[in-house]
Amino acid sequence: MKKYTPISLAFAAVFALLMGISGSYAQQPYFVLASTTSVENSGLLAHILPLFTGESGVSVRVVALGTGQALDTARRGDADLVLVHDPEAEAKFISEGHGINRREVAWNDFVVVGPAADPAKIKGNRDVLAGLRAIWSTNALFVSRGDLSGTDALEKRLWKAADLDIGKAGPWYKDIGGSMGAALNAAAALDAYTLTDRGTWLSFGNRQNIVILLEGDVRLINRYDVIELNPRLHPQIKRDLAKKFADWLVSPKGQSAIGNYELTGQRPFHPESDPKP
Amino acid sequence: MNDFGTAVTLAFAMIARGDAALYGIIGLSLEVSISAAVIAGIIGSPAGAALAIYRFRGRGAIVLLVNAMLGLPPVVVGLAAYLLLSRSGPLGPLGLLYTPAAMIIVQTVLAIPIVTAIVHRAAAEFWARYGEGFQMAGATRLEIIPQLLMLGRAQVLTALLAGLGRTISEVGAIIIVGGNIAGATRTMTTAIALQTSMGNLPVALALGLVLITISLVLNGVAFLIAEKSKS
């Protein structure tokens, strides 16, 4: 009989350890939701998920990423459901055949925040394009996410709509390549302007001199959609569990859970049925 | 400096409150980083000793490679592991992505070069000093490996602690393959990254202080064990 070498025993031990550890986490049925960061960072998911899990016995494992990365993760088959907020990227995802059954679950808005001193004088303005032109012409510092997130995609579309070529912006335009939180931390540290979704802004704890300066433009509407994955391209996904949650989100129970979520006395997310301005 | 004072107070409050989520995060951090360091020890220690005593072509290149891998960027290891473990990757069917097992795998990869390099250096010295004696006693090189590791057990412990230092403080790799999922794959370091991005800087700093304290305790315990084993 072949003698067991220490190395083969070690590998067996390692394998047993890994299997034991991965097994010990799989008590409850679960699926993976790739979501945009704002619904996680704002505390919305922490508020509504226990309600869903309590009713259904299904736990939701949230991987919070920028919308671009969340959709990519789903394209690779690593998520069972996506909850994102970039209509153009979503349309592409669906036309590629990855996503089906897109449903709007909530909406809120984006706001332009910046230093209270407001060097570009955009405060009180409702026209976001005029605001961006003022920032451009005064060379006031502006922080961009630069990460293909939903917010980043909207920001790029807005500059374009304002007829400004951001490729030609000067050093006042800081492309930080990071999350919404990283962009807000940078804006706070630099006294710079940035575009943020309201949910992340309300939950953000390091504002320093940064305040909301421009809001209320219809171009700043921010809609959150849930998209199921196409089982033909992704046969391995947990389709039933994911669909259960997607259905719950748009059901009266899910919608009222979203609408009732309060953060510092405000309701950062409107249910889908609330009329938009 | 006020932020630092707030963070210290907060750190004590969090520990005293016995917050279940916090203890879960601490528990997972320890489980992942200690498992990775131990596995790296199991693989890296004999590998380091073997590199010291076997003479073969390409040995120098391997030693060079191991030393170069000390500087492996965690985010690259995480990305490579993500591509392998992804559903559309070659190891996708194992279903390990976004599990603690995936986090242990990437951290093991990061810790192996550290353990191997440190053990190799120590083993090379012991081999130079005692190698002939071992061989005259008729031991084969394979039998000498455990004896060298026994002789250099203090250095093996140092190597394990250095490996643990890398794993417990690491965030770039585990956030990619773990996904920072609340209640499943959130560790101390990924929680710090999350709190920072939420602008809760004092909370992030307080978690950092807790992490440093845990690291101090682990190293203290290891030091005591090493002292004891000498006497």
List pLDDT tens digits, range B169-220: 999 999 999 999 988 999 999 999 999 988 888 889 999 999 999 999 988 8
**Surface-to-core class of residue A232, CB atoms within 10 Å of its CB (0-12 exposed, 13-18 middle, 19+ buried):** exposed
- Please check whether residue A116 lies inside any domain of the structure: yes
Pair (A187, A139) in one structural domain: yes
Q: State the burial class of residue B137 (Cβ atoms within 10 Å of its Cβ: 0-12, 13-18, 19+).
A: exposed
Rg of chain A, C-alpha, whole Å: 22
Cβ-based contacts of A30 with chain B (< 8 Å)? 184
The count of domains in chain A is 2
In a domain, A2, yes or no: no
Here the ipTM equals 0.82
Any domain includes B221: no
**Residue A121 and residue A191 share a domain:** yes
Judge whether B218 lies within some domain: no
A67: containing domain:
28-108+223-271
* CATH number of the domain where residue A114 is located: 3.40.190.10
Do A94 and A230 fall within a single domain? Answer: yes
**Contacts A203 to B, Cβ<8 Å:** 198-199
Tell me which DSSP letter residue B220 carries: H
Of B105, B183, B198, the CB nearest to A205: B198
* pLDDT band (50, 70, 90) for residue A5: low
Give the model's confidence band at B231: pLDDT under 50 very low, under 70 low, under 90 confident, else very high. low
User: From CA A268, how far away is CA B1, in angstroms rounded?
Assistant: 32
Q: Which of A30-44, B133-147, B155-169 has the lowest mean pLDDT?
A: B133-147
Tokens, residue A99: 């996503």
Does residue A12 belong to any structural domain of this protein? Answer: no
Is the residue at A67 inside a domain?
yes
Give B113 to chain A, closest Cα distance, Å. 17
Among B7-16, B18-27, B78-87, name the most confident range: B78-87
Residue B143 domain boundaries: 20-187
Q: What is the domain count for chain B?
A: 1
Identify the pLDDT of residue A2: 44
Residues A37 and A63 grouped into a single domain:
yes
The alpha carbon of B28 is separated from its chain's Cα centroid by a whole number of angstroms, namely 14
Q: Do A205 and B196 touch (CB under 8 A)?
A: no
Residue A53, pLDDT score: 94
Q: Do A140 and A121 share a structural domain?
A: yes
CB contact under 8 A, A205 and B97: no
A168 by DSSP, 3-state: which? helix
Note whether A244 and A215 are same-domain residues.
Answer: no
Q: Is residue A15 part of a domain?
A: no
Could you tell me if A70 and A123 lie in one domain? no
Closest of A134, A106, A108, A266 to residue A213, by C-alpha:
A134
Supply angle C-alpha B86, B38, A21, rounded to 5. Answer: 45
Region B32-55: mean pLDDT is 95
Residue B75 lies in a domain: yes
- B207 lies in some domain: no
> In this structure, what are the phi and psi dihedrals at residue B2, rounded to the nearest 5 degrees?
-55, -35
Q: What is the pTM of this model?
A: 0.85
Residues A129 and A212 reside in one and the same domain: yes
Report the pLDDT averaged over residues A70-79. 94
- What lies within 8 Å, CB to CB, of A186 at 6+ separation is A143, A174, A176, A178, A192, A194
Tell which A residues from 59 to 88 touch B, by Cβ distance under 8 Å: 59, 61-64, 76-78
* DSSP per-residue string spanning B41-80: HHHHHHHHHHHHH---TTHHHHHHHHHHGGG--HHHHHHH
Q: Do A131 and A262 reside in the same domain of the chain?
A: no
CATH number of domain containing B110: 1.10.3720.10
Contact B104 A21 (CB under 8 A): yes
Assigned domain for A62 exists? yes
Examine residue A277 and state whether it is found in any structural domain, yes or no. no
- How far is Cα A269 from Cα A258, in angstroms, rounded to an integer? 6
| C-alpha span between B203 and B208 (Å, rounded) | 9
Determine the Cα–Cα distance for residues A206 and A190; give it in Å rounded to an integer: 12
**In terms of domains, do A131 and A103 share one?**
no
Rounded Cα–Cα distance for residues B158 and B219 (Å): 10
Residues A140 and A184 in one domain: yes
Mean pLDDT on A30-50: 93
Q: Which residues of B touch A63 (CB under 8 A)?
A: 98, 179-181
Give residue ranges of B with CB < 8 Å to any A CB. Answer: 31, 35, 39, 42-43, 46, 86-89, 92, 96-101, 104-105, 146, 179-184, 194, 196-201, 203
Assess if residue B30 is contained within a domain. yes
pLDDT at A1 over 50: no
Verify that A51 and A128 share a domain, yes or no: no
Question: Cα angle vertex B81, ends A99, A84, to 5°?
Answer: 25
pLDDT averaged over every residue in chain A: 89
DSSP per-residue codes, B154-214: HHHHHHHHHHHHHHHT--HHHHHHH---TTTT--HHHHHHHHHHTT-HHHHHHHHHHHHHH
3-state secondary structure of B149: helix
Determine the 3-state secondary structure of A99 from DSSP: strand
Q: Is residue B231 part of a domain?
A: no
B90 occurs within a structural domain: yes
> To the nearest whole percent, how much of chain A has pLDDT over 90?
77
Min distance A196 CA to chain B CA atoms (Å) = 13
Residue pLDDT, tens place only, B84-133: 999 889 998 898 999 999 999 999 999 999 999 999 999 999 999 988 88
Per the CB < 8 A criterion, the answer to whether A27 and B184 are in contact is no
Rounded Cα distance, A239 and B226, in Å: 53
Find the CB nearest A63 among B89, B179, B203.
B179
Residue A166's nearest CA partner among A180, A152, A179, A178 is: A152
Asked whether residue B52 is assigned to any structural domain, the reply reads: yes
- From chain A, the residues in CB contact with B42 under 8 A are 10, 13-14
Residue A264 lies in a domain: yes
* Torsion, Cα of B215, B220, B223, B225 (10° steps): -110
pLDDT of residue B167: 96
Mean pLDDT of A204-226: 94
